[in-house]
Amino acid sequence: MRHNRRLRWAAIPIAASLSLVLAGCTQAQLNGFLPGFVEGEAPVTNNTERVSGLWVTSWIVLLVVGLLTWGLTIWAVIAYRRRKGQTGLPVQLRYNMPIEVFYTIVPLILVLGFFAFTARDQEAIEQRFAADEVDVQIEVIAKQWAWDFNYVKEDVYSPGIQGQLSDEGPKGSLVQSELPTLYLPVGKNVEIELESRDVIHSFWVVDFLYKKDMYPGKTNYMTIVPEREGTYAGKCAELCGEYHSLMLFNVEVVSEAEYEDYIDSLRALGQEGQLSNEYDRNQNKPGTGAPELKEEHEGE
């Protein structure tokens, strides 16, 4: 009874200290120092909190397991170390069935738990909107080494070039104004179709905590609801050739009025219609049915 009372009195200050520490955490700390979170503001998309929750929970569980494992290891090293004057081997213990069951079942439970929560969150993130729920439909076409954006419902497009290095400022600095920029309206259901013209690329907006590969001949989809206005950096996350590091873009999450103004500016530039795969160089490779080039002066 006295032992239980001591444990209870020891647990109270520990719980109070833990609550105080957690209450004083910033938004960044509560979300595992992941990008995309700003104190007092909404997450960047409807999925970022789900991703950060999975990340933070996994680290807490693994940290507890790690501390327990290291604690038991250090305790065994100290408690069962060879004392002065001792000789020979210590008493050998083997075939301890309860311990063997414990260190078999617990890792299995952890692996199944990680799998179950990951599968649950992945299913929610990958769930596409119904056709009548999509407010904005974007087709992103990757190419070595830039991005083209088709605004499908508005029937306009924005072609992009790879990142350009500036002659001014620090060495290796980019001309931000020339980076391809994808505009998205805040608070709208957005479906992004991902395609590639040549090799495997990967569409990654860092603050979205979400990326997806792009394969030639296959269309992948990304569905999000942008929830905070701002400028967010994007890049290709799949090594795709010589200028992979310059395959960059920006995402501008803006108000609906600013989005409409941008669409009107594309129309004013004459960029109506949709960019297609007509420049897909894979169509010119042998075996695709492309006409073969004949040598000049054939038969001479």
Element (H, E) at 262: helix 256-268
Per residue of the chain (300 residues), give pLDDT as tens. Answer: 555 555 555 556 656 555 545 555 666 666 667 777 777 788 899 999 899 889 888 989 999 999 999 998 999 899 888 888 888 887 877 788 888 898 899 899 999 999 999 999 999 999 999 999 999 999 999 999 999 999 999 999 999 999 888 877 676 688 888 899 999 999 999 999 999 999 999 999 999 999 999 999 899 999 999 999 999 999 999 999 999 999 999 999 999 999 999 999 999 999 999 988 777 777 666 555 655 544 444 444
Residues 140 and 157: their CA atoms lie apart, in Å, by 10
Distance of CA 217 to the CA centre of its chain: 23
Output the pLDDT for position 35.
Answer: 78
SS3 call for 81: coil
Give the closest residue to 49 by CA, choosing from 34, 65, 64.
Answer: 34
Output the pLDDT for position 9.
Answer: 56
Output the pLDDT for position 200.
Answer: 94
Residues 174 and 161: their CA atoms lie apart, in Å, by 13
For the chain, give every domain's residue range.
Answer: 21-79+94-126, 135-275
Query: Is the bond preceding residue 145 a cis peptide, omega within 30 degrees?
Result: yes
Residues 240 and 198: their CA atoms lie apart, in Å, by 9
Q: What is the CATH number of domain 135-275?
A: 2.60.40.420
Q: What global pTM score does this model have?
A: 0.77
Residues 252 and 183: their CA atoms lie apart, in Å, by 5
Identify the sign of the CA torsion 54, 138, 189, 208: positive
Output the pLDDT for position 13.
Answer: 60
Residues 51 and 209: their CA atoms lie apart, in Å, by 7
Output the pLDDT for position 297.
Answer: 42
Strands (E), 24-161: 136-143, 146-151, 156-158
